[in-house]
A and B are shown apart, each in its own frame.
Chain A
Amino acid sequence: SAVISQKPSRDICQRGTSLTIQCQVDSQVTMMFWYRQQPGQSLTLIATANQGSEATYESGFVIDKFPISRPNLTFSTLTVSNMSPEDSSIYLCSVELNPNTDTQYFGPGTRLTVL
């Protein structure tokens, strides 16, 4: 497994502002992922972040709204831009340790509330 941390663990933000969430893993990984989990719902993949290349976004998510950085093999950031109350969710990062089996391990999540 891997030790994955996220910062901040939670935040309350005003609409129209932006928040950057950090994800740090204790080992080098090629694939990192960002998910959104709305209250009481399942997880929805936002994007896949490979080091050294542009993030790949899933349908319904765009780079202008959720810009992602992946500067090295142990770190990634997700920014939630121009926030509205609909962006209130838990945001989770995960890492893939075994590309042959697509095994993912998740961070603790960032709980975002937008007022």
Chain B
Amino acid sequence: LAKTTQPISMDSYEGQEVNITCSHNNIATNDYITWYQQFPSQGPRFIIQGYKTKVTNEVASLFIPADRKSSTLSLPRVSLSDTAVYYCLVAGFNKFYFGSGTKLNVKP
């Protein structure tokens, strides 16, 4: 089971690009990498998912190097409303591990 490691917290300012990296050294061949955003008193919200290289959608980009032992969530031009906890999840064959999450604090 791939354990994930993320920074506990990060600070940023409005308008900046934020990159949050997750380490998953024991990722298996069939595992996908998924990132979630969670606000207080809400369930996690799906942001983006990838297997390798780069994935981009309307809210974020996900960079995964060739060895897949880490991944980086990139949030372009954050706003105050992006203040939340971000989780990296590695999952495969219905085995999941949620890391401790990264609390992102966006300042004005």
Interface readout for A77-98 with B: 1 if CB under 8 Å, 0 if not?
A: 0000000000000101010100
> What's the nearest-Cβ distance from chain A to residue B48, in Å?
11
Contact status of A42 and B99, CB under 8 A, knowing A48-B94, A103-B49: yes
Cβ A42 vs Cβ B100 within 8 A? yes
Q: Which residues of A contact B20 (CB under 8 A)?
A: none
> What's the nearest-Cβ distance from chain B to residue A96, in Å?
8
Chain A binder among B11-19, B38-46, B60-68: B38-46
Contact-residue size bin, chain B (C-beta under 8 Å from the other chain): 20 to 34
- CB-contact partner of B41 in A33, A101, A109, under 8 A: A109
- Which A57-95 residues sit within 8 Å CB-CB of chain B? 90, 92, 94
Interface readout for A1-29 with B: 1 if CB under 8 Å, 0 if not?
A: 10010000000000000000000000000
Main SS at interface, chain A? strand
- Which B27-58 residues sit within 8 Å CB-CB of chain A? 31-32, 34, 36, 41-46, 49, 51
Cβ A105 vs Cβ B46 within 8 A? yes
Cβ A101 vs Cβ B43 within 8 A? no
> What's the nearest-Cβ distance from chain A to residue B95, in Å?
8
- CB-contact partner of B94 in A4, A102, A106, under 8 A: A102
In whole angstroms, how far apart are the Cα atoms of A33 and B97 in the complex? 13
Cβ A103 vs Cβ B46 within 8 A? yes
Cβ B87 vs Cβ A104 within 8 A? no
Where the two chains meet, the residues of B that have a C-beta atom closer than 8 Å to any C-beta of A are 31-32, 34, 36, 41-46, 49, 51, 87, 89, 91-94, 96, 98-101
Question: 13 A-B pairs, CB-CB below 8 angstroms?
Answer: A42-B98, A43-B44, A44-B98, A45-B98, A102-B31, A103-B34, A104-B34, A106-B44, A106-B45, A107-B43, A108-B43, A109-B41, A109-B43
What 3 pairs across the A-B complex have the smallest Cβ distances?
A106-B43, A102-B91, A43-B98
